[in-house]
Each structure stands twice: as C-alpha cells, then as structure tokens.
Chain A
Amino acid sequence: MTIKRLIVITGLLFSIALHGGVPPPLHAEPATESRIKAAYLLNFARFVTWPDVAFESSVSPIVLCVLGEDSIDSALPTIQYKRVQDRPLVIQHIDTLADLPACHMLFVGEIKSPDLPQVLSALASRPILTVSSLPDFSLRGGMLTFIKAENRIRFEVNLSTTQMAGLTISSRLLKLARLVP
C-alpha cells in the first residue's frame, strides 16, 4: 500500500461523505433533552381527554401555552401543528394570566411575575393540563412534572389535580408515570 493510494482512497470516501449534503438550516439544534420533552408534550396531548366544553368546535385546535423561560422553547417547532386527536396542536407564548382561558395545555417555565402560586390559583379547576420541569411542580399543585430518572426523562403525575380539572388521563400514560399524592 503506497501512501498515494491511501490518500486516493481516503479522499474518495470523504468526497462521498461531503457531496451527499443538502443546504443546511442555520439555527443551532436543540438539546436532546428538550426534544424528548417536546415529543412528550405531543404525547400528553394524545393521551389526555378534555371535557367537550373545552373546545369551541370539533375542529378547534389544542392550544399549548408556554409561560416563562425554558430550554424546551428551541424544540417546540418540532411539534407545532402536528395533529393529535384529529385536532392541530398550536403553540402560543403567553405573558399574562389573562390569556389562560384560550389554553388547553400550559407549560410553565422559569417565572417571576406572576409567581407559581399565582399561576396555580388562577388555573383553579380549569380543564388545562399543566406541565413543567420545575422541581416538585406536581407536589405544589401542578399536574405533570418532568424528572430525570436513571438517565431517562420520565414524569410525575398529580392525579387529584387532574381529576378536579375534569381531565382524564389514559392508563397508557399513567403506566409510565410516577404518581405524586
């Protein structure tokens, strides 16, 4: 094997690798963890049943509201407008609690004002599925909390708050959840 032949072969293999490309998206890729969580949100929408009154019509979208800052933001475009339960999933960023009535799901990020107790009391028993990565979110009155267990992203569920809000969660989802009293 001459050095020359080695270069030729290596060069050839690399040119195969190089010319297979397509024009790239320029934004940075979201972290794996955020993409997994976003995919979970889509699945939550799939396995939760809202009361009929929560939707204006049979074709109205499921509205996922996002309040506060969270790294999940960068991954949300991957689930925007996906169809679940025959409805499109629509993502809305909200700043005030006045926007709550339009939401079916609420993802709570890092928030200062309003603070978490204010948000939770404003939700009262509205049929809005609340999700967060904040520690002990379910214990403090939220519904679903992302947790990391054995190097995987899992979630906790507070069943009493979901029942009070009139939401039904599929047993398939509950099987994977850690229940919080």
Chain B
Amino acid sequence: MTILPPVNGPAILAAILIISGLCLVPPLRAMEDFTELSIEELANIEVTSVSRKPQKLSHSATAIFVITGDEIRRSGVTSIPDALRMVPGIQVSRISSNRWAISARGFNSRYANKLLVQLDGRTLYSPIFSGVFWESHATLMEDIDRIEVIRGPGASLWGANAVNGIINIITKQTAKTQGAFSTNSIGTFTRTNGGVRYGAPVGETGHYRVYTTYSDREASVNSSGEEQADPWDHLQTGFRTDLASNPDTQWTFQGDGYTGHINEETNIPSLTPPYATLYKHENTSRGMNLLGRLSHTLSPTSEFSVQLYYDQTMKEETQLSSTGDLVDLDLQHRLQPLNGHEVIWGLGYRYYTDTLNVTEAFVFEKPTTTDHLISAFLQDDIALSPTLQLTIGTKVEHNDYTQTEVQPNLRLLWKPDETNNLWFAASRAVRTPNRGETQICLRNSIIPPESPANPTLLPIEVLLVGVETLESEKLIALETGYRFTPESPFSLDLTLFYYFYDDLYGYAPSPPKPDLDAVPPRVILASTIQNLMEGNTWGLELATNWSPRPELRFQSAYSLFQADLTFKSGYADATAQYSDNAAPTHQLSLRSGFDLPRQVTLDLWLRYVDDIQENRVDAYTELDARIAWRPSKGLELSLTGQNLLHTSHPEFIETLVWIEPTEVERSVHAQATLSF
C-alpha cells in the first residue's frame, strides 16, 4: 500500500476560508414567498426536497447521494457530466470538448464499464463496450427532477454492469412542468445552450410536455493553448405524458429523438510512412427512443409496474460506426406477504442487435450480432426489530457471453433513533464481457521500423484481440456507512468500502510474428484480452450538508480512493487494462449558496482533484461561481463562470484509443430563463 500524499494547500486554505467566512456572514433574508403562488403551484411543492432531507435516504443501507434539480440550476452547469462532479465517490474527467471519462470508485476511462447509468428507467450504456457515450445523452437540464447516485454494487436489483455504482437521472413529473418555458445561454465554451418546453393537461386524467433542447460547444485547446478540432453540437426533442386513469393506475409514455455533430481530429496509426494518418471528421450521432410504463397499486401493500422501451442509436466514431436497436421489458412487484417482510421481485428481458461498419484498424469478428439477456431478481426487507432491518436479495441473469451469473447481497441497517443510522453491506457483483471485449481486433499502435523500440526493417503492428472465452470480472464488496441526520440544519453521510476484485481484464502478449504475405509486410504483436488481473480497492466518502439559515447552504463532498491491482501469477509480462491511478486519491468539492436580498442568489463551488495517471495529469483546484437575479416571477437572469482559477488545465488522458490530449479552459456563460 502506498503512503497517502497530503491534500494540497489550496484546497485546505479554501475550506478554512469558507468556514471562517461563515462566522462573518450576517443572517440574510430572502425566503420564497409561498403566498404569491397559485393554489395549483402550492399543491405541487415537494416538502422533503425543500428541506433537503428525503425520508427514504435515511432508510437505505447503501451509499446514496441525491443531486436536486434546484442544485443543478444553482450550480450553473450545462451538462449532466458537470453536475456529477458534486457527488463523492464519482470521478468526472473531461477528455476533450466532447468526451468524458466518468466512473465510480476507480477504473476511470472513456470506456469505463462498471457503472450503470439510466435516464427515467432507460439504460444509457452502449452494449458494445458497456460504457456511456456521454456526448450523445442529454435532456433539458431544467426538466431534471433529481439525479440519484448509488455507489457500490447494486447488481442484486439492477443487474450486471451495476458493479461500482448506479446513476439514475430522473426527470420531473409532467404536472410540475406546466405552461411555457424557455431558456437560452451564450458563453465562451458553451457557445449556446438552451431549450423550450410546453406543458398542458390531458383532459382530467393527466399532463404532458413537449420540449426541444440544443447546445453548441466550442473546441478545447491543447497544452500550448492551440485550438483543437473538436467542437460539437446536439439537438434533441422529446415528450412525456403522465396519466392516472384512476388513483391506483399510473401510465407514463415518453420518447426522445436527437441528432448531433461531433468533430474529431486525431492521428490514426498506419502501416506506411509516416506511420500515422490524420483522421479529421464530423461524426454524426443520432438516436430515438420510446418508453411506456404502467404502475398499478393492487392494495396499500402491493404494487406492480411494467416497463417496455425501444431504443435506437446510430453513432460514428473514429474508424467505427454502429447502428443498434434495443428492446427492454421489465416487470417489478412489491408486496408484503408477511408482517415485517417487504418483498420486491422482478423479471427482465433485453433484446439487442447491432451492425458495425468496421475499418482496417478496428475490426470486429462479426459485423452484426443479436444478444438476449434474461434476468430475475428477488429481494426481501426484513424488520428484525423496530430498529434493525435486514435486506437479502439476489439477481440471476443469463447472457450470451458467460451464460448464468448470480449476484447476491446482504445489507443490515441499524436505526437506534431518527438521527443516527449505521449500515453494513456485503455484495457480489460481476461485470459481464461485452461485444467489444470478445470480438474486437484493434490496431492499438504501429511501431515504425528502424526506431529505438523496433530496430527491424518491418513496422510492428500492435493489436488488441478479444477472446470469446472471456469470463466476467468479479467483485466482492464490503461497505459500511454512518448517517447523522438530526433536526438541526446539519447532516453528515460517511461511507467506507473495501473491494476484492478478481478476473479483471488485461492484455497478455503473444510472441511477435512476422507476416510477410500481408501488404505491406509487417510484424504482428498481438495481445489478447484475458482475465489476468486481481486486486483490492478501498476508500472513504464523506458528504456534509449545513444550512444554518434557510438562505445559506454549505455542502461538502470528500473522497479518498486507493487501488492496488496486480497481475495474477503467470502473467508477469502482461499489460494492465486498468491503472491504479486512473482515479484521484483525494477529491474535494465545497459548495456554498447564498440567497441575497432583492431576489439575488450567489453560488460558489470549489473543487480539488488530485493528480492522476502517474502524474501525467496534475492535481488541480478549480472554482465555479454563479450569480442570478429574479427581477420578477418567471424570469431569471444569471452569469456563471466555470474553471475560473486557470486559463486551462488537463483532466484526463485517454490511452486505449486515439484521442489527442486536450485541456479544459476557463469559461463564462450568461443565461436567461423565462416561464409563464
């Protein structure tokens, strides 16, 4: 185990400043005046989200963190990835203007594959590589009700891929988005971003909304400050309808369609001098989805829901284009068969088919595939005593790659009183291999002839080759947490975890093999993807929330993360797929919100992120600030500055495929929002 480096000075100083600043703050007054609201608006105010202490949170034996829609608005972020920077235990790094590496508890990369991300119950990850193309997923930011982030395995309920965490993006009920709404911002990085929405009742039984959102973003810069060729835009439109044909039956129908243009310029390895070709292209990304959900209450203790969705995607990437269709059916039933038992069980089926357009540098064994995934889960919440709750559950899944997988968990929650609760969890989760890992043949690099690394006269082609017999990556996770939620305006949430991983993937090299018949002749150095690594990770996550007065808020999130991954015996000469240092050891976020007089609000957000990738990316401290004014009801004007402390800084360097390193620049945007 390595010795922990100390947290950098600036972060500590800033924390001290924020806290000492508090002592000077005179109590301010600017509370929302409910007497000015219409009775319909009153009926829609959520009580717990206002007090920031949802009841459910303190009842779960999991590390959960919720970002509210209001926090998103007040942070000034214009994308979902930026909002996720608030969450302890989540690593968010921007690779280029249009690419991100986002993961929970380590293993970060553009192709991070141990995180399940859902938007209104629809899975966003791409079955090709089990990760999320964040640049293709958006929604009107103002429609987001909350983002629930669960760290740790959620596999017993959610299934494979929910290994290190789950992100649930939940949009508002349509009853909360009635009337007309429009917003637009202009800025230096986010050139323009905004949208329009209209909501109205559907007869007596429900509501609907339709929306359109768009964004157009600037290119990033490289370390010398030169502009890169990665600007991009996104246009999306969609609808949602919530109907209650009777008080016990709720229907939701929703759908979106989007199109985006994502520019890319990078050097692709090539077999002829100069052994690299410049790839410059405007990639198109398109997709649409339709989802229907029925929830029905059978009795006060029994409720079931059925959800069906169809999702179509078309995406162009460097050297690889794909079209995919996915149909997912999900059924859940919650009931209380016995006193003190709350049982949830469910069944799921997923059908996926895709067609890939491959190139010489990026080959898949089969250009088209059809996968089936069948799953079932059962979980029982048992009240052992009024203060002690035991949860046991498991998911059983059958997939086309590793056949049957079992993912059980056990959770214990001790709640001696309303203020304190302590929990413990032990779980097993697996990350099943995907289409890419089993079928890929990727030209990772070309080592030119007569160079220091290759004294021969032929170029060496370094290939990464997928293997059909690959097994799942396995995790046994131990977690414990403590939550302190007194009546007073302070709350604290602490989580500790220790993970045991086995059968992690790495690249096992084969001896170099000259291929003189190929055109041009070359030496092939192929590495196959195998279950050849193991190791442990551990860490601590702390979130606090302090609101000494309704018009003052201070929120902090701290994460400590350590990984120790090694090769299994017999694989000493292999290459690691996952680096110990892909995620920062220390990460700190400090947010403060002030409601000033005359309907003015001020928000400051300071972030510290430790160095990563063996010092190739330095530690950084950044500050976002937003000031907003509501001159009248329904109108808000704001000015946000992001990454204010540096002209530019890097956040992540992607190594698996070809992405030029870029930096994140200081940026400013002004936004106007109008609703009526």
Contact = CB atoms under 8 A, between A and B. Distances in A.
Contacts of B51: 31-32
Given A16-B602, A32-B51, A151-B47, 5 more contacts: A3-B10, A13-B625, A17-B25, A25-B29, A152-B43
B27 A24 contact: yes
A85 to B, nearest CB: 14
Interface stretch (B120-128, B235-243, B531-539, B592-600): B592-600
Contacts of A115: none
A21 B28 contact: yes
Contacts of B29: 22, 24-25
Contacts of B604: 10, 13-14, 17
Contacts of B621: 1, 6
A14 B597 CA distance: 16
A9 B623 contact: yes
Interface of A: 1, 3, 5-7, 9-11, 13-14, 16-18, 20-25, 29, 31-33, 35-36, 38-40, 42-43, 46-47, 78-79, 82, 148, 151-154, 172-173, 176
Contacts of A21: 25-28, 596-597
A176 B27 contact: no
Interface of B: 9-10, 13-14, 17-18, 21, 24-29, 31, 33-35, 37, 39-40, 42-51, 54, 549-550, 592, 594, 596-597, 600, 602, 604, 606, 621, 623, 625, 644-646
B35 A82 contact: yes
Contact of A40 (B21, B26, B39, B550): B39
Contact of A36 (B27, B28, B40, B42): B42
21 contacts: A6-B10, A10-B604, A10-B606, A13-B623, A14-B21, A21-B25, A21-B597, A24-B26, A29-B550, A32-B51, A33-B47, A36-B34, A38-B35, A39-B42, A78-B34, A78-B35, A79-B35, A151-B47, A151-B49, A152-B46, A152-B47
Contacts of B623: 9-10, 13
Contacts, number: 120
A176 B646 contact: no
A38 B606 CA distance: 38
A11 B10 CA distance: 13
B646 A32 contact: no
Contacts of A36: 34, 42, 45, 47
A43 B21 contact: no
Contact of B39 (A9, A13, A16, A172): A172
B549 A29 contact: yes
Contact of B600 (A3, A20, A24, A42): A20
B225 to A, nearest CB: 16
A172 B592 CA distance: 40
Nearest to A19: B26
A17 B34 contact: no
B50 A32 contact: yes
Given A7-B13, A17-B596, A22-B28, A1 B646 contact: yes
A39 B602 CA distance: 27
Contacts of B21: 14, 17-18
Contact of B13 (A6, A16, A25): A6
A18 B26 CA distance: 7
Nearest to B627: A16
Contacts of A46: 39
Contact of A24 (B28, B44, B644): B28
Shortest Cβ-Cβ A-B pairs, 10 listed: A39-B34, A24-B27, A43-B39, A21-B26, A20-B596, A14-B21, A32-B50, A39-B35, A21-B28, A176-B43
Contacts of A151: 46-49, 54
Nearest to A25: B29
Given A17-B602, A42-B35, A78-B33, A10 B46 contact: no
B31 to A, nearest CB: 6
A9 B622 CA distance: 11
Contacts of A39: 34-35, 37, 42
A79 B13 CA distance: 45
Contact of B645 (A6, A18, A35): A6
B137 to A, nearest CB: 27
Given A7-B17, A24-B27, A35 B646 contact: no
A43 B50 CA distance: 21
